[in-house]
Amino acid sequence: MELQAAIAKIDRYSSVEQGDKVEIIERPHGGISIIMAEGKLCGRCSRTIAIKTVHSILNLIASGIHDGAASRTVLTSINELHQGKASVNLAIISCDLESQSIIITKNSTTPVLTVHDGKVDYLRFDGTLNATPAFTSSVFQFEIEAGRDFILVSDGILQAGNQSMQSLDLKVSVESLFEEDIPTVQSIADSILSQAISLDLGRPRDDMTVTVFRISPTPSSNIRRECVSFPIFDIN
């Protein structure tokens, strides 16, 4: 089997202050984790809050702390440090080779899609996600199973098209990608992001992030690969 992951991300149009942050880390006992965070300070986007959250969780996971405990620790710290004026929408997806499982940790109702044998569905979260305080997290664990995809998105994807009374039906969108053949993880991420940008008429009204996680039956060659595309705009 082989773990495949892809991320597609764009910042909010014409704004110097963004709120989304996403990072990848190798786990200390094997596997990887992807951490997505959207920070808010006094109701406004805050990249500082998001970066602080992600980097703190990266450090805890690297130290061997379980995802759920790392999430609760960092979110509680952010809440206390900013006296309740800061919040974070957080999602962590991990392939943990020590426990032989896929672990998803979330503190928001932003949906996660699962794809298994071509069937697309939403991962059902329990009521604890609506609980207060905001640092309450839910953790879900799955066996590592070939042929399963997980798709995580940020709020910007869900809210795309709101100004024109339109919205992206994630389930229908992903189902259409699997109609003829199995798409690559990058093509799934790119397609969802492209549709969301189009709904906002090419000018995203919020940061948009899509993360796709797949356990492929393809035998591993024991070579690890990473590919990064990062736009650099003229700052002069």
Q: Considering just the CA atoms, what is the radius of gyration of the chain in Å?
A: 17
Q: Is residue 236 assigned to a domain?
A: no
Which residues are within 8 A (CB) of 112 and not within 5 positions of it... i.e. 6 or more apart? Answer: 91, 104, 106, 122, 123, 150, 151, 152
Give residue-wise pLDDT tens across range 45-96.
788 899 999 999 999 999 999 999 999 999 999 989 988 888 899 999 999 9
Q: Is residue 145 assigned to a domain?
A: yes
- Could you tell me the CATH number of the domain that includes residue 203? 3.60.40.10
Q: What is the DSSP letter of 129?
A: G
Q: Which domain holds residue 180?
A: 2-216
Q: Is residue 229 assigned to a domain?
A: no
User: What does the angle CA 228 – CA 234 – CA 236 come to, to the nearest 5 degrees?
Assistant: 145
Give residue-wise pLDDT tens across range 21-56.
999 999 999 999 999 999 888 777 788 899 999 999
Q: Is residue 14 assigned to a domain?
A: yes
Q: Of the candidates 94, 93, 88, 85, which has an alpha carbon nearest to the alpha carbon of residue 74?
A: 88
**SS3 of residue 195 by DSSP:** helix
Give residue-wise pLDDT tens across range 94-146.
999 999 999 999 988 888 999 998 899 998 654 444 444 455 678 889 999 99
Q: What is the DSSP letter of 37?
A: E
Is pLDDT larger for residue 219 or for residue 223? 223
Structural domains counted in the chain: 1
Q: Is residue 227 assigned to a domain?
A: no
Q: Is residue 194 assigned to a domain?
A: yes
Cα–Cα distances in angstroms (integers) from residue 87 to residues 38, 40, 84, 139, 208, in the given order? 8, 5, 7, 19, 18
What are the structure tokens assigned to 17, written together? 């202050």
